[in-house]
Amino acid sequence: MLNMSSKDIRGLFQPLLVLVIIIGASVMALRYTDASVKKAQQGVSAQERLLSEARNKVQQSDQEKGVIERYVEPYMELERAGIVGEEKRISWIDALRAANSEADLYGVEYELEPQKPYAFKSEVAADALPIHQSVMKLRFEMLHENDLLHFFQALAAQKVGRFTVNECKLQRLPVNLAVPVNQPTLRVECEVAWITIAGSVPEERKS
């Protein structure tokens, strides 16, 4: 049986302090080295992943070559058509003028909104691709509803980019018998989305 006085117990402060310091230092050292092991394991996993990717690329190089041979020309065609790469807003405006002229409209008012992500990306099944849209609101008047189709066909024929028509509102104008015959009978407001796919950046080309 241990029989110690309070003085003796107070004398144990130093060994207890040493014990606490050693336990604290040990815990810190263990946590640090455990974290190092975990980090090293993650490093090995990352390297293994990179190696696997590199081997896959080597194994699929023939296939990759075939894909490039097949798709490079259509891709460059898309670049030339303004579908891939930067937006060509000037070309779009020019195309609007040309389409207006070809469809014999009375002039088209336009309002082009800032670029934003394409709204129907999931329908295109290309979530990984950076597809953008710039919504253009059009306001014009026309004589007959078929002029609307002529206008959009003429705009598409300019080949300055890819667009889809989101919505159109055709409103009959009041008949005024006092005005000449070839005056507009319909007021049209349409919303068109100009769609572009961002081109490849240098980092992607390296990979």
All residues at 6 or more sequence positions from 102 whose CB lies less than 8 Å from its CB, including other chains: 150, 151, 154, 157
Q: Is 113 in the site for other proteins (CB under 8 A)?
A: no
Q: Is 157 a binder of other proteins (CB under 8 A)?
A: no
Pick the stretch among 86-94, 98-106, 107-115, 141-149 that binds other proteins (CB under 8 A).
141-149
Q: Kind and range of the H or E element at 12?
A: none
Q: Which is nearer to other proteins, 35 or 106 (CB)?
A: 35
Give the interface segment with other proteins, choosing from 97-105, 109-117, 177-185, 198-206 (CB under 8 A): 198-206
Q: Can you say whether the dihedral through the CA atoms of 19, 22, 25, 26 is positive or negative?
A: negative
Query: CB-based burial of residue 140 (10 Å sphere; 0-12 exposed, 13-18 middle, 19+ buried)?
Result: buried
- The only residue of 78, 93, 112, 135 in contact with other proteins, by rule CB under 8 A: 78
State the first-to-last Cα distance of the chain, in angstroms, to the nearest integer.
75
Site for other proteins in 31-60 (CB under 8 A): 33-34, 36-37, 40-41, 43-44, 46-48, 50-51, 54-55, 57-58
CB of 202 to other proteins, least distance (A): 10
Question: CA dist 8 to 12, 14, 16, 31, Å?
Answer: 7, 12, 13, 35
Angle among Cα 173, 175, 181 to the nearest 5 degrees reads: 105
| Alpha carbon distance 7, 161 (integer Å) | 92
Q: Exactly one of 96, 99, 105, 195 binds other proteins (CB under 8 A); which one? A: 195
Residues 175-194 that bind other proteins (CB under 8 A): none
**Beta carbon nearer to other proteins, 180 or 204:** 204
Q: Does 80 bind other proteins (CB under 8 A)?
A: no
- Is 145 among the residues that bind other proteins (CB under 8 A)? yes
